Every structure is written in C-alpha cells, then in structure tokens.
Amino acid sequence: MQILKFLFIIVEVLVFFNLLIIVHELGHFLAARWRGLVVERFGIWFGKPLWQKTINGVVYCLGSIPAGGYVALPQMASMEVIEGKSEQPQQKLPPISAVDKIIVAVAGPVFSFGLALVFAVIVWAIGRPVSDTETTTTIGYVVKDSPAEKVGLQPGDKILEVDGKPVSRFGGIGDSVTWRIVRSEGENIPIKVERDGKIQEFKPVPVKDPTASWERKSLRQIKIWPLDAAIIDKVAPNSPADLAGLKHNDRIVAVNGQKLYHFLMVTDVIQKNPNEKVALKILRDQREFEVSLKPEVPERIAEAPAPKRKKSNQKSEQVEEDKGPKLGISWNLTGDLSLVHPGPIEQIKLSVNSMISTFGAIFSSKSDIKPQHLSGPVKIMQIYYVLFESDQGWRQALWFSVILNVNLALLNMLPIPVLDGGHIVLALVEWFRRKPANVKIVNIIQSFCAVVIIFYMLYVTFYDVQDLPWNRSKAREPQVRFKAPVAPETR
C-alpha cells in the first residue's frame, strides 16, 4: 500500500508540475495559430519522442522526459539550444510583423495568469487549510541563549512590528515576522511587541548558522518560534503519559501552573527538574482536568540519525533528542487546521507581492538573500510531494499552484532573451527600427542567454538536491520503549 501511495503522489506531482508549463506553452501555440505563424512542433515533455504525429503541418510529440513542454516557432527568435535545430531556416520563411511576435510572446504569461485565476477561484470555493501557527504573530517559544532571549523576548509576546514594519502573520514572504527578520539590514532588529497590554520594544542582534561551502548560506534569525498548541499525536505504550490516561488529540494547556505557548516548554520543564513530577492541565472534549506524572527514562531508545542542521527550519529543532527522562508523548506538528476562503484577487495580489518582495531582496546590495536561495524544478516538485503527503494536500497544492503560475508569468515577462519578455523587447526594437534585427546576432544572443539560464538552473538544482529527504537525515523523535508495569504478586 505504501508503494501504491508513493506512486499515486508522484503521478499527482507530475500532473500539477507539467500542467502549469503546458498551459503556458498552449498560450503561445494558440496565439501563433491565430496570427498565422508557422508552428513546427508542439511538444509535451522533452527527450526522445515516445510518440509523434503530423497534423496540418504541425508535429505533435510526446517526449520521454516528463518536464513540461515547448512550441517550436521558427519565425520567432531562435530557441535551438532548448528545442533543437529547426528544419525550416528563418531566411526561407515569410516574415511576420512585430505586433504578431508581441502577441505570441504575451500569450504564454496571459495563459499562466489565467490558470492561476482558475485555481484561485477553486481555492476560494473549496477553501485551503491554514494552521494557527501561520496566522499568529505571538511568540510560542524562545530558544535558549538565542538573540531573542538575550534581549528579553518571551513566549506570549505578540509581535506588532519588525524593523519598523507591521506584521500580520509569522511565516511566508511579505508582511510576516520571519520575512521582516530575514530582510532586515541593520546590526540589530527593532521588534515592537505587546505584553500584558503594554507596548515594548526590543533590539536583538540577529545571527546566522554556520554552513559548509556547498550549502546554501543561512539567513538572519533571532530563534523564535510561533505560538503552537501542545496537541498530543501519539502516546508510547506503558509510558507515564499512557499510564496517566493521556490520549491522541489531548491538548496540554499548562505545565506546573504555567500557561503553555509551545510544546517544547514541556520538554524544558522536564530537563530542568528530571526527577520531579510534572503537573499538566489537559483539555479534552471541552473539559479541563489535571494529571500529575513523573517522567521516566525509557528502557530503550532506537538511535535516530542526528538531524542535519537546517537553516531557518523550525521543525528540525523541535525534536526531543536527549536520552533523559520522558513522558512518552509524540506531538502533533501541524497544529489546529481551519479552512479559509481567500478571494481570487486577494490570492493573485499576495502572489504578485511575494514575487516583488523576493526580487527586491535579491537585488538589494545589503540583503542576505541571493540567487542561490531561489528554487528550481526539483524543489518545486518536492514541495508538491510534501503537500500531497499531508492531510488536505490537494487543497494546499491548488493554492500553491496559484503562486507558482503567477511566478511563472512574471518571470517570463522579464526582458531577458529566451524568455517571453526578451521576445517582446526584440519585437519592440524591430517595430521602432522598422526592420528586423540581424538574425545571426539575435541567434547568438539567444543561445548565450539560454546557456546562462541552463547553467543557473543547474546551479540552483545543486542546492535543491541537498534538501531532498533521501539526501539528508530526517529530524524525528527517537523511538522509545517503556517497561511494562510489574503486576503485584498474588499468593
């Protein structure tokens, strides 16, 4: 069953990933047919053709490498580096107007925006799951000896501003706590919080984790995690939690009388007083009750691979790695999920703003965010895989596809030869000069830019591959086993 599930998820990933590229190319194809351009090939996937057929002078083919598609338009600027050598030299083809070239070039991004809008309408109708950790700006946990702890930030503080800019959520690109910290450029980061009804300001000095020369450089952080409910996922048999009657989906709201903002606070209490009982306040089915239990050292701990250091990865540090006393609880890392129904325009606007913020960071000389921090096809497919693995994954995949299609449209509008924006620039130059650009010069520029883009994609893929799960140790809780309680002797 696991193999079937894996294969099914792979098929879902390939369908979504290929759909966004094929729809983009379909826009070029339909516009070219409408404007009377010569269409040599319409290819779905690359590599050696598994199937091909000529219909009305157009070769339709299915390649062997499932990675998108292309349209061969020999009257446009040459794309031989990507599409192969054309069988119809440009010199022997009838010329086309600059307006036709612009229309064909623009059609791809228009179709990508159109697909994004279709997905956005679907997400609006069916909703997308959002965890409470996404929407909060309240601090749930402060790492020991971190920049945040050194200046006095505490769990329960509600962050209002970071670096002088308001925040409305904890993670993501844009007006989030994490992004404001990453995008800050000063020696310290002014952070305004609300605590007990009073406004206070702190100025932690951000740090960056050390990385190897072959890893992506880490980004600024002050080591705080968002408010995260302590919800029990699993209880180990014969553990203190099991013997106390704790169950799946029980919520721990307080430990030793202290309000709980994050499940790691339970671990901290146990580590500070390993030989003392822990008083937990539990919420179950809208009813609160208290239990007192003493942590125990498990009989056996199955050695789990030490988690590889991950930059700005909250979950990788949320693992109980010590071999001391434990309660036998595994935590629900997804938190409470609720369905939200953002409007289509809101989704498109958020995607555009994220793209603008990302490029603004990349082109800022003082920013730590560099081209190496962008993601390529490998990372995109990995994200799709992770989304489909999760509960309600298809809803999340639809929402992610909105962002991805908007990004594809905007990226292709950049005025770089090979991209659609480059075709538009060349057509505008031709329009103003009232004569076509030199074919040989255009081909040289196109080929050079295509090679640069291919090498950049390989460069980004080098970093993306390092993030694949089979290339790094998975951070997970060690597997533990507790001794069964000894039954009293009978005489």
Q: Which are the catalytic amino acids?
A: 25
Tell me how far apart the alpha carbons of residues 247 and 289 are, in angstroms, rounded to a whole number: 13
DSSP letter (8 states) at residue 296: B
Q: Where are the alpha helices (DSSP H) in 363-392?
A: 377-389
3-state SS class at 55 = strand
* Tokens, residue 332: 């629900």
If one counts every other C-beta atom within 10 angstroms of the C-beta of residue 149, the result is: 16
CB-CB contact of 131 with 332 (8 Å): no
Distance of CA 88 to the CA centre of its chain: 42
Residue 229 neighbours by CB under 8 Å, 6+ apart: 132, 251, 263, 332, 335, 336
Cα four-point dihedral sign 323, 325, 330, 333: negative
CB-CB contact of 417 with 449 (8 Å): yes
3-state SS class at 346 = helix
Q: Where are the alpha helices (DSSP H) in 335-392?
A: 344-362, 377-389
* Tokens, residue 27: 């826009």
* Tokens, residue 349: 């606007």
CB-CB contact of 284 with 250 (8 Å): yes
Distance of CA 64 to the CA centre of its chain: 28
Which residues does residue 46 pair with via DSSP β-bridges, in sequence order? 65
If one counts every other C-beta atom within 10 angstroms of the C-beta of residue 162, the result is: 25
CB-CB contact of 391 with 129 (8 Å): yes
* Tokens, residue 231: 């919800």
Tell me how far apart the alpha carbons of residues 246 and 255 are, in angstroms, rounded to a whole number: 14
Phi-psi group of 233: left, alpha or beta (phi > 0 → left; psi -120 to 50 → alpha; rest → beta): alpha
* Tokens, residue 228: 């995260």
Residue type, position 61, single letter: C
- CA atoms in the 13 A half-sphere facing the CB of 476: 12
